[in-house]
Every structure is written in structure tokens, then in C-alpha cells.
Amino acid sequence: MTTIQIGGAKIASIAYSFDDVALVPVKRVRDAEDVTLHWKIDAYEFAHPIVMAPMDSVASPATVVEYSRIGGLAVLDLEGLWTRVEDPSEALARVSASSVDGVRRLQELYATPVDPDLMKQRVSELRDAGITVAGALSPQVALQFHDAVIRAGLDIFVIRGTTVSAEHVSQSHESLNLKDFIYELDTPVIVGGVASHKAALHLMRSGAAGVLVGFGGGATHTTRDVLGVRVPMATAVSEVAAARRDYLEESGGRYVQVIADGAMGRSGDMAKALACGADAVMVGSPLARATEAPGKGRHWGREAVHGDLPRGGVAELGTIGSLREIVEGPSHVADGTMNLAGALRKAMATCGYTSVKDFQRCEIIVDRS
Amino acid sequence: MTTIQIGGAKIASIAYSFDDVALVPVKRVRDAEDVTLHWKIDAYEFAHPIVMAPMDSVASPATVVEYSRIGGLAVLDLEGLWTRVEDPSEALARVSASSVDGVRRLQELYATPVDPDLMKQRVSELRDAGITVAGALSPQVALQFHDAVIRAGLDIFVIRGTTVSAEHVSQSHESLNLKDFIYELDTPVIVGGVASHKAALHLMRSGAAGVLVGFGGGATHTTRDVLGVRVPMATAVSEVAAARRDYLEESGGRYVQVIADGAMGRSGDMAKALACGADAVMVGSPLARATEAPGKGRHWGREAVHGDLPRGGVAELGTIGSLREIVEGPSHVADGTMNLAGALRKAMATCGYTSVKDFQRCEIIVDRS
Amino acid sequence: MTTIQIGGAKIASIAYSFDDVALVPVKRVRDAEDVTLHWKIDAYEFAHPIVMAPMDSVASPATVVEYSRIGGLAVLDLEGLWTRVEDPSEALARVSASSVDGVRRLQELYATPVDPDLMKQRVSELRDAGITVAGALSPQVALQFHDAVIRAGLDIFVIRGTTVSAEHVSQSHESLNLKDFIYELDTPVIVGGVASHKAALHLMRSGAAGVLVGFGGGATHTTRDVLGVRVPMATAVSEVAAARRDYLEESGGRYVQVIADGAMGRSGDMAKALACGADAVMVGSPLARATEAPGKGRHWGREAVHGDLPRGGVAELGTIGSLREIVEGPSHVADGTMNLAGALRKAMATCGYTSVKDFQRCEIIVDRS
Amino acid sequence: MTTIQIGGAKIASIAYSFDDVALVPVKRVRDAEDVTLHWKIDAYEFAHPIVMAPMDSVASPATVVEYSRIGGLAVLDLEGLWTRVEDPSEALARVSASSVDGVRRLQELYATPVDPDLMKQRVSELRDAGITVAGALSPQVALQFHDAVIRAGLDIFVIRGTTVSAEHVSQSHESLNLKDFIYELDTPVIVGGVASHKAALHLMRSGAAGVLVGFGGGATHTTRDVLGVRVPMATAVSEVAAARRDYLEESGGRYVQVIADGAMGRSGDMAKALACGADAVMVGSPLARATEAPGKGRHWGREAVHGDLPRGGVAELGTIGSLREIVEGPSHVADGTMNLAGALRKAMATCGYTSVKDFQRCEIIVDRS
């Protein structure tokens, strides 16, 4: 990255968000029908690289099953409402009834502790549905609960926090050493968020099958206001993609999946993420607009429910169609929120590419800098 | 173009839109009356270089004839409503009556297939009016229909799509090879959109008389949201103008007309397009404000009617005067939407130029970068 | 100026507006009471360098006299309403009564031709009031009317157009050759607008006592929308100040006054103009807010009244206090529109300067570039 | 700093505000509980580095005592309403009752002169409460009143103006020579605002214990509009931090506290200030939202009450919780206005730091430049 002097001895890198860049077609145009979106992580294959984020407004046991049936990977939050109460329908109704900025209401609902038995039960339910079962825990509780949920049949284990480093340092309690942790597991692990080349390389060395890129950029996050932390995603994805290449060489051939996570509200953003080097994208808000979504068109992230320092709100998105219509179309809107897979195919074909791996080399421009 | 490192190994060019630049007068001021706007393509001459875009909200058989009579080139969309139904007045009334974001309504109206007999009939009608007849087809159907419409009397054949490359690649059906296609025709061809030096050079080598520069930048397009694709127009026109110069040398004297297409809602934008190197401009929204316009002040593009993945909406522009007043004035508004030709003359005279060809060398500035 | 490649062979300079820059105090603070704002052009001295622009919404014979009495130079538009009709009060009332975007109304009012006898009468009235008499003509009519108005007693002759070059080129009628014209006059001439080093140098060589910098940047102009022409003022003033320095050397000591004209709605903008190298500022909108202003809080420029191609509108500013309060305070608002002279003194003192000439060296910053 | 050519010979530095930058986590994550926010200036220690600004809407004798009890340094304005009238409750009620832009009302209220006896009485009251007593005077009156207030028991003396230079130059009355002044005092002095390396170094050499960085950037200031003066804070803090380092070396070990003052409405801004090199932050608007704040949710600065040239207004912020909740949480909002200390701890831990001194080395990025 280019660096610049802010003042005195303070140097800063210049970073770019998806809004700052755009794709440029310079190659021969291809047919959208010739494009393949197939995505594979470890032994698991999917029809497209759009992953449903582990957020309670999007991923319920029912929508996870439905989303898997239409070809995608969906991740259930194992610390969400479904592992806190047997039937969260009343809790969800209360979010819907509260004022839009309902942080206080969320704090109350999530004050109920997670129930390890419910965790196992949810994993079993998904397993019984015959889908690839993926569940997410935060780094803080991964050590405590991973054994139970993996035994219950988890196929893919996601460790997702605002920032995850390969080694978390604490003076007061036992920390998660990801390297030790991941190597002991048989289950493939996806871990993040991360935003720099160096931190990503450390995570890759821990044995992760995939890394999540990003934090603080989503539709509902206010991490920048509260913590001052932000990493624009076009730069973050490009940096982590470079780490993937370096790790591929140093490991003699281990290819770690780079999954952009957050700040992709429209299909155009997802296309940019792939063009910057991502293998897949994890999205919340686009799927929160599904009629089946548990949030009924409202959307929030886990950072919004923190008891002392919430860093997100409840967004009112509304609903526009079924999960299947949102992913596969046909679309009846022109804003990049419907027929996400179709839009990716069209973007790739227009730019002259037929696979995600090739599309990662797509030319991009910056609007005046 | 200047390039910049986005992150890791990802490099991007820096690109500029018309909003990012402005003209600077540094030469001796000229009289606006001394300015000539005459424009010529192949054997056809026009009083000014403002081309009416092939959009159903702007170009009906009637407005095409009227526009030609006041000196401009007008292009009818040969896949629009007029070649789908005998009398599209009811269809147009339904667009007017629908809510502004009427994408679903457009999808229904354009579900009626195009009728080759109507295509020929429309061309004959225009021919009978004694004007220079220009019609547009998309690259997808150019092979299928070109023979019929050219026999019916087309003078200028426009092939216009979101992106057109000299050679389209498909594994599933026969593709349009522009080089073979254009060389077989006696009719001059204008083809685009295109946005890079390299792609433009390929199109020029196919024998095109003119190339259209741009895509996704117009008043109604949402290509950036849906596909992530955008090329800011000041840079795109400058790049294609450089390709024209290179092709002029390599071909030993074939001068290909560079026609900026889209993102020029005001006369100031058109002046900038010429100053960046365009020979002419193709515009929709400024002419959609004419009282004669079939859209009655509503405006949409063909990308908005796509059945699976619409990439544009219906814009409510309103009407401000006759076609003649919009092009020739007098103007009673101060926002660059009326007396377009007068504004171009005044801009050129103020900057010290009296012909479009000279004006292409006009000095421009970037507002802080 | 720094240049940048827009695309292909097109190069552009990077330019800065007043909004892009700010003053930085780095020297020892001074007392505002120690600051002098005195300004002198030719043999005429003024208490401050804020010049009233020749605009009908601001400068009537009455406000010109009043403004002169409180120490400033005021310029009457000799092609405005006061030289078209004996008593323009009815015309002004009609502007006040029209809708805010009253371009068509202005066009009607200014359709009445200027009356040479009224021109002379207005100059005589101002002369009788015992003030320094300054009047403005456009370059188009300067040859025709200058003799009459100078004989009537004009002290300072202002030639003001959107763009003025030392030599205007026309094939159809006699053009104004400023060099010949100015050298024949005994009266000092202020001429503009101009925006580049080269054009300013040419104007200085014509013998002008002062040059006006800028066009298209004022509160009511839409030159950028209509013509695509714009020169950001911080750059324009800096460029012309450099021309002043070069001409001072080449002429062996002729110091030409640089007067920033337009885009200075607030006292902070005026301070920036001086810090970029201006000797004085010509302003309209800040004085249009005076209770005595003929526009009664509405404001328009001459470019708005053009019969075929108006390039400005009528702005509704409202009134906030007397001319004297606006210039000298005390202020009761905090937005830079009152106590303009006091604000300049405070700005200069804060940055450590006590004269305008020294203040032209003030350090400035660009907000991230 | 990087410099750029504005035009002609005018050169400007490029400066960055807090909004232009963000923190990037690149180190191993730490536990927020391991973070210490302790701050020390001279002999005085505080639980956190968030200083209450001497503004009447925030700091009354009562809130100063309350704020001290929850661990922070609070500064009373010794030229505010509390030293003008015995009981300012009626005056405060009138501000609350006036329209939001109540500059004229403020001018009336502050027309009452300060009363030296009330100054001493307020200091004594604070002293009697057993807290660290800090009071602020402007440079204009520091000479006149410092003796009285220091004798009354001031522990920390704050000299705060829009701009303060080590030596103020006046031809008309005795000026404050800070070097002489500070060396004669036994009481530690905090002085500012200042924004450049050079000016800060001069202030440090005068013997100050701390310098305030910034002016014109706060929630209610309009210094940029009125004076044209602005220094973006990320650059200003970085510049002054470099001066601190240089002075540390030149003085053989005197560490001067750098206190960012203004433009920090959210906890994320405060984190950025520390990351740019500040040791502490002085804030107004975040504490003006306390239910105990004398402004009852309205907020204004001293520059707003100037009789001739007010440079600020009255902001309507509303109240959101107690002083203690705002500083220590728990928070029920997600916008960075509550649990300020908790947010700083979380930001530091996320970026991998456990002390403010280390955190000053935190990596930052610029959003595209």
C-alpha cells in the first residue's frame, strides 16, 4: 500500500473501500451461461460462493436448511437466540415491535445465557436435515463449547469475532491459542475477521481452511464511531489475498479460502470483492430482505447486543422476495439486491471471465483519487 | 493513466468522471457566432454533433423525423416498443401511470417479442420521410435481423450494448464476430459501448465508422450497483480518443468517429465530452424532457427492461419545452438543459475555439485530486 | 500547478477552491486593533479591500453612495436596470414577487435596452454625491459607451465579463482590443474575469490598474452546468498573483491590483482570497443581505438575464442587517456573513499579520488531497 | 507533511482530520480488562485521560466536582457565567428557552462583566470539595486575574484561547509573555490552542506542563466560516506530538502532556486522537449530553459569546444519561457517545495495546486520498 505522512512522524497507509473502486471490462465479452460460480472449501462444494452470515436476523435453523437446499453455505450463530431459548419467536416479535434503534431491547433479549444443550440440539436438527452443517462461535467461548458442538455433528466450524488474531493475549484468563486449537480439530475451521496481510498470514499458519476478511463495515456496524477502527474492504481483501498467495508458496500448496465478510449490500459489491481476490463472500443484509428471514426485514449484528458497549443498531431493510429469488432471481428491482448469483455471472461475463479464480485478476479502477 | 496500489498485488488505474473536471479558458475569446458545430460521419452530415439515443422514452418514429429536420442524427431502437407492437401508445400510457420505479411494469411490456415485419415497416416509414435513417440493434440479435433492416433502407446501422467487444466468446451458441460482420456490410456501422484504449482499438479495426464510449453512467442506469462495473467518462473518452489517433496512424488515415454515450445530462457535460476528445455525443435524458418525447417526461433505458436482471429504473424528468427549444433555444432555464447547441457554441467561444476538432485540445482542470 | 493524466494523452492541472483550503496560524498572534485593511488603487484610497460588485441586486445609486461613505469602493452596473429605466422600483418589485427561480422574469425586465442618457445621468448623480465613482460595462459594449460615461465623470472604469481576454477575436464585427483601448484612457481600468497566469499577464500588459479573478463561481452562477467552465478560486487567485509578480519585474515596477471576484460568500472565504494573493475582493451575495440592498434579499447576476442562454438564477438570501453592520459589525450571527472587516482583521491577527500585503504569505493547508 | 502547489508560487501542506483516518488492528488482540487508562500531569493522577472542557454548558461547580469524583480532570471556565453572576440558573434557563441559534441571547448574558470576588469564591468552593482544582482563563485576562485565583487554591491553571502563541504581539497594550509568566508560577500550566510543530515547541519552551491542540473544530465552532482558519486534528495532534518528542530531547527529559482539544464528538474520535499521539483529550459535546450538564443538552463555546464577532452557535444535543454512564457505561446507544472509557479500552485492546503511551504507535489508515 501507498503510505502518506499525516503529520510529524505519523505515517498512514491509503486504503480503499468497495465504493471507491469499480470493475472495467477490457477483455472479450463472454456468455453469462458459460460462467461457473461453483465454490469448494475443504471437502464441501456449493453452487455459488455467497455464504449466509451467522446473524439472527438472517440465519435461523429453518433458513439455514432452505439456503443449503438452494446451493449455498449457511452458518448458524451458536450463541444467538436459537441457543438461548427453545422458541425465539416471541423474542423476535419484540425486536420487530420495538423502535428501529432498538439497542436496549436487544440487550435485554440477549441477556439470557446460551444453553449448551440447545447448541447441541440445533446442530443435530441441521444434521438431520442432511445439509452441510456450519455453526459459529466467538473466540471468547470457542474453547468452552467447541467440543460439544463438534460432537453433535458440525461439518464446518466458524470462529468469528470483530478481530481475531492467531494468538489472543490476556493476563486474567485462559486465552484461545488458535494454532493449537485448530490443529487438534478434525473439522475444517473458518476464522476471522482479519484485515491485514500480516495478521492473515498468522491465521493461515494456524491451519484454518478459510479466513474471514473485514470488520466494522457492515450495514449495521458502528465500529468506526465507537472504536475508531475501520479497514476499507477493497484494500483489506487485496491484502489478505496477497497473504494467501504467500502462504500457498510457504506451505508448499495449502490454498486457504479468502471470504470477504461485510460491507457488501449489493451484488456489485460482491463482484468487487471477488475481483479484489476473495474466493467467496459472507453476507447478511442482502439475505435479511428475504421473506423467510427471521428478522422480518429488520437486521442486526452480534456487536449490537453487547451489554456494556453496543457497536451496532437495528436496520429496517424491509423484505423484497424469497431467499431463492434473492439468490437466483428473476429480479424485479434494479438496485443490486436481487438475483445475486445472476448478477455475479453477468459481471464476470461482461468483464470476460468464466470462473471466480480467473475473475480475481479483473481490472479495476479508482474513481479519481 | 496513473495507477495506484489498492493493497497486496492489486493495482488500479485512477479514472475521472465529467463531474471531476472542468474547462479552463486560457486562449483569446472568440465570438459564439463564429463557431461551427457541423458534424459528419461517413457520407452523412449534420448541423450539430448531438445524437438522439435509441431509447423508447426519447426516440419514436415521429421524434426521429422531427429531430432530423432540426439538423441532428436520431437513432430508433429496432428492438423497442415500436417493433414489438403496432401502436405502443397504450403501453407508453401504462408506463406513465405506473409508480416511478416501474421496473416490473417495463418487464411486462417488453415481454412481447420483437416482430421482424414491424422492424422493416418502421425503417420504411423513416425512409419515406426523407431523413438519414439510423436504427440500433443489440449485439445479441444483430446477426439475426440486420439483413432485413438494411434491405428496408437503413443508412446507418448502430450496434449498441452494455459492453461490446470485437469478438464475443460463447460456448453455447453462434457469436457475433464484428470484424467479419462489418466488412460484409455496405452500410456504415456505429458500435459500442466500449471504455478502454485496447477494446476501442479492436473495434476500430473491425471497420466501424464510429464507436460509442461508455456504459452504466446514464441517468437511469444502475450497472454499478448491480454489476460493480463503471468507467468514469472523462477518462473513457480520453482513452478512446487516444485509440482513434493510434488507429488513424496504423490504418494510414481512417478516422473513426468517437461518440460519447451516457452521463451527459447537461450541456456542460457535453462540452466536457468534446474537450476530452469526442467528435459527437449521444444523449437520452436531455431529449426526454421534450414535450414531443414518447416518454412524456419519463425516461428509461433498455437495460431496465431485462427480464431476469434489470439494471436501471424509470426516471421522472418532466418536460421543459419542444425538441427544437431544447436543442436551439432560446432557453429560459439556467441549468444546462436547454439551448444545448447554443451552450456548446458559447463554451467553445469562451475557451477560444471555433470547431469541435480544435476544441478537443481545450485545457481542462481537475478539482483537487 | 500539478498535472495529472486523465486518460490517453489528456493532461489536466489540479485546481483548488476556497472550500478545499484553510489558513493555519504558525506565527506569533497579533492584536486585531493593530491590523490595517487600507487599500489603494491608482490614486484612490479605501478603508478596506471589500469591493461592492456591479450587480443590480446589490448596487443601486443609493447603496453605492452609502457603501462609499462607510469606506469601500462600490461599482454600479452601467448596463443594469438603472440605465434601462428611469425608476426601476417597479421592475425590482416584480423580481421580488416572482417565484425564486425567476429567470424568465429577469429576461423580460432586461429586454428593455440601455439608455446612454441614463448612463450619463447615473454617473453624474454619483459624482454629485462626492464619492469615488466607479461603473462597469461588459466588453461587448465598452467601445460604444465608454466615451459618454467617462466624460460624465467616471473615476474608475470596470470592464467585467464572464471571460475577458486582452484581445477578443471576431470575424463578424469590430472587437475590443484592450491594449489600444486602455492606453488611450486617462481613467484607471479594472478588467476581468480571468483565471490563468498567461491570460492575466496579457491583461496586465494592456495597462489595467486592476484585474478581476474568477468567473462561474458565485452564489448564483451555473456556468459549470451550462458551459462546463470552472476555475476553482484558490488556484485562480494564486496563479494571477504569480502573474502580478512576474509583470512587476518585467514592467520595472508596475503593481497591478489583483481582485478576487466571486465565490466568497463568507468572511472566511475573503480571508482565504487575500491569503492566496489577492489585494482586494469583489463581493455580491454578502452585501445582497443588507436591508438597503435593491434586491430586498434576492440576488442575481448579469449572466442570469441573457435572453437565449441564461447561466444563473435568482437566489433567495434574505436580509440580516444594514450595510454598515454587515461590513463593520457588530455581528449577531456566527456564519461569516456579518462584520466582514472585523473578521478579516481577526483572521489576519490570529495568523500573525497586520497588513494585507504581508497576509498574502499566510500559510495554508489543503484538507486531505 | 506532504506539500502541494495550489497555483503560482503558493504551496500548501496536506492535512487530515479524524474523519479522514481510522485505526487498523495489526497486532495480537489484548483483553480490554488488561488496558489501563491512567493519566498523570505534574503531580496529579486521574483514572482516565478524558478532560472536561471549561465550557459553561458542561462544567458548573457541581459537575466539576462530580466529574472529579468519577476519576477525571474537570476544568471550570473562570470567565464563564459562574464568575459573572452569583446564581446563573436564570441565565441558563434563558438559553434553554431561546431559539436554537441563540447567539444574540448569549451575547446579552455574557455582557455582564466577570467578578474577581466570584472567581475566588468558585475556586474556594471546589477546593473545599477536596478535588484537584483546575480553572481556565483566556490569554487576554490571564495577567490580570491569575494572582487572585491561584491564591484561592487553584491546582492546575489552564490558559485557553482560539490561538495562543508563546509571545503575543501588541502595539496598544501590555501583552502576555508566556515564558516569563509561566516560569514565575508554582502552579502547573496547561496552555493552548496550538496546531503546528513550531508554535507548539515555543509553548513547550515556556515551561507549560501541557499544551492544548486544536481550535475551530468543535461541535459548535464556525471559525472556518468566519476566519477561514482550520487545522484538521489528526495532522495537528501528530505535529504537536512530534514537537513533544523534539522538546523531550532538547530539554533533557521534560515530557509535556499533549491534550487534543475539540472535534471529538464520539469515542472513536478520542481513540484516534490518542493513536495520533495525544496523551489526553479535552471534550465538551460528549459531556454536554449528561443529565447533570448545566446546558440541559444545549451546548456552546466561549467563541459564541463574543460581542462583535461571534464564531459559534448553540447546538441542541439532548441528554442521554448521567455523567457516570457517559464515561463508564453501561451504554445503551451504539454511536460512540456513551461508555467513553470502555470504548477507549476496547479500541486499544482490539489494536493490541494496553497503555495510552504504547497506543500512540497504533497503525492508522487514510480512506483513499
- Determine the pLDDT at residue C302: 86
- Determine the pLDDT at residue C29: 87
The cell for A215 is: 470488520
- Determine the pLDDT at residue C169: 66
Helix A139-151 × helix A116-128 angle, to 10°: 50
Across B52-73, average pLDDT = 97
Nearest CB to A222; choose among D15, D27, D335 = D335
Least confident of A218-227, B284-293, D194-203: A218-227
pLDDT in tens, B9-36: 899 999 999 999 999 988 888 999 999 9
Nearest-CA distance C355 → chain B (Å): 29
CB contact under 8 A, C230 and B350: no
Nearest-CA distance D273 → chain A (Å): 10
Burial of D193 (0-12, 13-18, 19+ CB in 10 A): buried
CB contact under 8 A, B7 and A245: no
pLDDT in tens, C85-105: 999 999 999 888 877 568 888
| Residue C369 confidence (pLDDT) above 60 | no
Give me Rg for the CA atoms of chain A: 20
CB contact under 8 A, C6 and B238: yes
pLDDT tier, D168 (very low <50, low <70, confident <90, very high otherwise): low
Distances (CA, A) of A142 to A75, A182, A309, C3, D26: 15, 11, 21, 54, 22
Give the chain B residue nearest C199 (alpha carbons). B26
Nearest CB to D15; choose among C245, C343, C365 = C365
* DSSP code of residue B52: E
The CB density around residue B151, as the number of other CB atoms within 10 Å, is 10
Beta-bridge partner residues of C159: C137, C191
SS3 state of residue D181: helix
Nearest CB to A2; choose among B5, B224, B226 = B5
For chain C, what is the mean pLDDT?
92
- Determine the pLDDT at residue B23: 94
pLDDT tier, B51 (very low <50, low <70, confident <90, very high otherwise): very high
pLDDT in tens, A287-301: 999 999 999 999 999
- Determine the pLDDT at residue D170: 66
Nearest-CA distance D179 → chain A (Å): 24
- Determine the pLDDT at residue C161: 85
Better-scored residue on pLDDT, A137 or C231: A137
Across C131-144, average pLDDT = 93
CB contact under 8 A, D195 and C24: yes
Nearest CB to D336; choose among A7, A196, A222 = A222
CB contact under 8 A, A8 and D277: yes
Substitution target in B332, B345, B361 with the highest count of C β-carbons within 10 Å is: B332
pLDDT in tens, C163-182: 777 776 666 666 778 888 88
Quickly list DSSP for C295-356: TTTEE--GGGG-SS---B--EE----B-HHHHHH-----SSSSS-HHHHHHHHHHHHT-SSH
Give kind and range of the element (H or E) at residue D58: none
Q: Are B343 and B267 in contact (CB under 8 A)?
A: yes
Q: Which chain A residues have a beta carbon less than 8 Å from that of B222?
A: 334-336
Least confident of A100-104, A168-172, A324-328, D351-355: A168-172
pLDDT in tens, D283-328: 999 999 999 999 999 999 988 889 999 998 899 999 999 999 999 9
Q: Which chain C residues have a beta carbon less than 8 Å from that of B15?
A: 7
Give the chain C residue nearest B273 (alpha carbons). C228
Measured CA to CA, the distance from residue C208 to residue B113 in angstroms comes to 70
Give the chain A residue nearest D265 (alpha carbons). A225
| Residue B129 confidence (pLDDT) above 70 | yes
Q: Which chain B residues have a beta carbon less than 8 Å from that of A241?
A: 8-10
Measured CA to CA, the distance from residue D139 to residue D163 in angstroms comes to 9
Across C43-54, average pLDDT = 97
Give the chain B residue nearest A240 (alpha carbons). B8
Measured CA to CA, the distance from residue B231 to residue B234 in angstroms comes to 9
Measured CA to CA, the distance from residue A348 to residue A368 in angstroms comes to 24
pLDDT in tens, C220-242: 678 889 999 988 999 999 999 99
pLDDT in tens, C256-307: 999 999 889 999 999 999 999 999 999 999 999 999 999 999 999 988 889 9
- Determine the pLDDT at residue B369: 57
Look-up: residue for cell 500500500? A1
- Determine the pLDDT at residue A168: 67
CB contact under 8 A, D304 and C236: no
The contacts of residue B73 (CB under 8 Å, 6+ apart) are B39, B41, B44, B46, B51, B52, B132, B134, B156, B280
- Determine the pLDDT at residue B274: 98
| Residue B218 confidence (pLDDT) above 80 | no
pTM score, two decimals?
0.95
Give the chain D residue nearest C17 (alpha carbons). D6
The contacts of residue D21 (CB under 8 Å, 6+ apart) are A6, A12, D234, D272, D276, D364, D365, D366, D367
CATH of A17-366, one of 3.10.129.10, 3.20.20.70, 1.10.3720.10, 3.40.640.10: 3.20.20.70
- Determine the pLDDT at residue A180: 84
Strand locations in chain A, DSSP E?
Answer: 3-7, 10-15, 21-23, 39-41, 44-46, 50-52, 75-77, 134-137, 156-160, 189-194, 210-213, 257-261, 280-283, 298-299, 315-316, 364-367
| Residue B105 confidence (pLDDT) above 80 | yes
Q: Which of B121, B136, B125 is nearest to B73 (CA)?
A: B136
What is the CATH topology of the domain spanning C18-366?
Answer: TIM Barrel (3.20.20)
- Determine the pLDDT at residue B223: 86
- Determine the pLDDT at residue B163: 74
- Determine the pLDDT at residue A357: 97
CB contact under 8 A, D336 and A304: no
Substitution target in C197, C198, C309 with the highest count of B β-carbons within 10 Å is: C309
Nearest CB to C26; choose among D14, D103, D199 = D199
Q: Which chain A residues have a beta carbon less than 8 Å from that of D363?
A: 12-13
- Determine the pLDDT at residue D217: 56
Chains that touch A (3 or more CB pairs under 8 A): B, D
Across D31-58, average pLDDT = 96
| Residue C358 confidence (pLDDT) above 90 | yes
Least confident of A262-266, A361-365, C40-44: A262-266
Burial of D318 (0-12, 13-18, 19+ CB in 10 A): exposed
Could you give the percent of chain B with pLDDT greater than 70?
A: 96
Q: Which of D19, D3, D42 is nearest to D254 (CA)?
A: D42
Across A86-100, average pLDDT = 85
Q: Are C172 and B31 in contact (CB under 8 A)?
A: yes
Give kind and range of the element (H or E) at residue C95: helix C89-97
Across A107-111, average pLDDT = 92
The contacts of residue A38 (CB under 8 Å, 6+ apart) are A45, A46, A47, A48
- Determine the pLDDT at residue C349: 95
Give me Rg for the CA atoms of chain D: 20
Tell me the Ramachandran region of residue D218: left when phi exceeds 0, alpha when psi lies from -120 to 50, beta otherwise.
beta
Better-scored residue on pLDDT, C195 or B326: B326
Distances (CA, A) of A48 to A36, A51, B151, B279: 8, 8, 46, 44
Distances (CA, A) of B175 to B143, B306, D105, D341: 9, 20, 76, 64
The CB density around residue D336, as the number of other CB atoms within 10 Å, is 27
Better-scored residue on pLDDT, A259 or C304: A259
Substitution target in C5, C171, C212, C227 with the highest count of B β-carbons within 10 Å is: C227
Tell me the Ramachandran region of residue B263: left when phi exceeds 0, alpha when psi lies from -120 to 50, beta otherwise.
left
Which backbone phi and psi does D284 adopt, to 5 degrees?
-115, -65
Give the chain D residue nearest C352 (alpha carbons). D169
| Residue D336 confidence (pLDDT) above 80 | yes
Q: Which of A324, A336, A366 is nearest to A265 (CA)?
A: A336
Measured CA to CA, the distance from residue B341 to residue B48 in angstroms comes to 7
Nearest-CA distance A196 → chain D (Å): 6
| Residue C362 confidence (pLDDT) above 80 | yes
Q: Which chain C residues have a beta carbon less than 8 Å from that of D263?
A: none
Q: Which residues of D236-265 are buried (b: 16+ CB within 10 A; e: fewer)?
A: bbbbbbbbbeebeeeeeeeebbbbbbbbbb
| Residue A216 confidence (pLDDT) above 60 | no
Q: Which of A189, A266, A267, A277 is nearest to A236 (CA)?
A: A277
Q: Which chain B residues have a beta carbon less than 8 Å from that of A233?
A: none
* DSSP code of residue D138: -
Instruction: List the domain boundaries for chain A.
Output: 17-366
* DSSP code of residue D15: E
CB contact under 8 A, C14 and B351: no
Give the chain D residue nearest C274 (alpha carbons). D228
Measured CA to CA, the distance from residue B98 to residue B315 in angstroms comes to 12
Distances (CA, A) of D257 to B32, D55, D181, D203, D279: 64, 21, 19, 12, 6
Give kind and range of the element (H or E) at residue D187: none
| Residue A262 confidence (pLDDT) above 90 | no
CATH of B16-366, one of 3.90.950.10, 3.20.20.70, 3.40.50.720, 1.10.760.10: 3.20.20.70
| Residue B217 confidence (pLDDT) above 70 | no
